[in-house]
């Protein structure tokens, strides 16, 4: 059964990881476009401050303080949406954290906490959302990463969690299709995004971490996420670099393995770690959409073009023709 989705201004949207970065950018954009929004995160003070600001500007916002790794807390957040707005139409899983350091140096409790947030948080949010949306229809949007397709050193468990998110999302989509549930399921895969993620990470390195260029604006991801809330797509890359790296890994995996360490320049040269503990085990340094990357931060013409229905059709047609030509040559 095909999902029938409302215009954004008629929707109630639940956003996890809503206190900073991509989640906060998505909340602000959704409210600005008329949606009712339930903000979910661990940091109550940051949520309440943002909700007060948005409400003062005419936004319709509710707050649910929850650790997404706790299924009961996620279910309570869904109930907040029911109590505040009568339910929800789209659920967006954004909450995530990372760790910088060689896999063998990272403590087991840190590995487990990352998976509890990134993977189990997505599982909890998705299954709670599906239970609510199965009868009425709606959209589920999971924010993965280019790391859903490939890996890179010094963030090994982060990459593993994003691989797991992709596998879970794909399997859930299949099961919902077989069940005839009218729910659109989209995986969004951003490249490097200028958010506070590196500064909120658990850091085992002896330098402050950064992200490899090119970096894109958090609003580019928010645009893709909200597009999927109305026009479900299987997957959306954010940033041409994400698609290019994924293609390189597919076509030449050995070459990618050799290039990955050079591509992944994770240290801010000369800068000691600011806060090695980060926000892995508790809320900290929330309330900001952007990081402080010193270089250019880009818009993504690639992503914007891909969200255009005409462009998408042309790209799909071109890909089909190319595949047909290759298959014909093999035969």
Global confidence as pTM: 0.91
User: Which pLDDT value is given to residue 219?
Assistant: 98
158 assigned to active site = yes
Share of the chain above pLDDT 90, in %: 84
User: Which pLDDT value is given to residue 256?
Assistant: 87
* Alpha-carbon span 33 to 153, nearest angstrom: 39
The predicted model gives 184-200 an average pLDDT of 97
Q: What are phi and psi of 242, to 5 degrees?
A: -65, -45
CA 300 to chain centre: 16
* Per-chain mean pLDDT for the chain: 92
pLDDT digits (tens, 9 = 90+) for 7-61: 999 999 999 999 999 999 999 999 999 999 999 999 999 999 999 999 999 999 9
pLDDT digits (tens, 9 = 90+) for 51-68: 999 999 999 999 999 999
**pLDDT band at residue 323 using 50, 70 and 90 as cut-offs:** very low
Q: Is the pLDDT of residue 269 over 80?
A: no
**pLDDT band at residue 264 using 50, 70 and 90 as cut-offs:** low
What domains sit in the chain, N to C, each tagged with a CATH number?
8-299 (3.40.50.720)
**pLDDT band at residue 164 using 50, 70 and 90 as cut-offs:** very high
Catalytic residue among 158, 216, 237, 256: 158
User: Which pLDDT value is given to residue 327?
Assistant: 39
pLDDT digits (tens, 9 = 90+) for 274-293: 999 999 999 998 999 999 99
User: Which pLDDT value is given to residue 285?
Assistant: 87
The predicted model gives 101-110 an average pLDDT of 97
198 versus 268: the higher-pLDDT residue is: 198
**pLDDT band at residue 3 using 50, 70 and 90 as cut-offs:** low
Which of 40-49, 158-167, 296-305 has the least mean pLDDT? 296-305
pLDDT digits (tens, 9 = 90+) for 71-82: 999 999 999 999
User: Which pLDDT value is given to residue 13?
Assistant: 98
**pLDDT band at residue 330 using 50, 70 and 90 as cut-offs:** very low
């Amino acid at each position: 059964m095909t999902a029938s989705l409302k215009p954004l201004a008629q929707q109630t949207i639940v956003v996890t990881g809503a206190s900073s970065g991509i989640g906060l950018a998505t909340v602000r954009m959704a409210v600005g476009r008329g949606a009712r929004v339930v903000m979910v995160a661990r940091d109550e003070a940051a949520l309440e401050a943002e909700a007060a600001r948005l409400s003062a500007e005419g936004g319709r916002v509710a707050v649910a303080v929850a650790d997404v790794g706790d299924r009961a807390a996620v279910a309570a957040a869904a109930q907040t949406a029911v109590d505040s707005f009568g339910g929800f139409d789209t659920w967006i899983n954004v909450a995530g954290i990372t760790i910088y350091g060689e896999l063998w140096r990272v403590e087991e409790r840190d590995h487990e906490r990352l998976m509890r947030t990134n993977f189990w948080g997505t599982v909890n949010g998705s299954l709670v959302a599906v239970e609510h949306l199965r009868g009425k229809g709606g959209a589920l949007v999971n924010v993965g990463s280019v790391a859903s397709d490939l890996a890179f050193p010094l963030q090994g468990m982060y990459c593993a969690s994003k691989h797991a998110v992709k596998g879970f999302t794909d399997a859930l989509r299949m099961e919902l299709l077989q069940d005839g549930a009218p729910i659109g399921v989209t995986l969004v895969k951003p490249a490097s995004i200028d958010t506070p993620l590196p500064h909120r990470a658990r850091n085992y390195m002896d330098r402050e971490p950064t992200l490899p260029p090119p970096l894109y604006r958090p609003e580019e991801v928010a645009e893709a996420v909200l597009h999927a809330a109305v026009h479900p797509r299987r997957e959306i890359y954010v940033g041409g670099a994400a698609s290019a790296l994924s293609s390189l890994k597919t076509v030449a995996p050995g070459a990618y393995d050799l290039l990955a360490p050079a591509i992944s320049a994770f240290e801010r040269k000369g800068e000691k770690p600011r806060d090695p503990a980060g926000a892995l085990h508790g809320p900290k340094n929330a309330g900001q959409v952007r990081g402080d990357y010193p270089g250019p931060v880009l818009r993504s013409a690639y992503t914007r073009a891909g969200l255009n229905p005409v462009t998408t059709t042309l790209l799909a047609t071109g890909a089909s023709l190319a595949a047909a030509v290759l298959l014909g040559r093999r035969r």
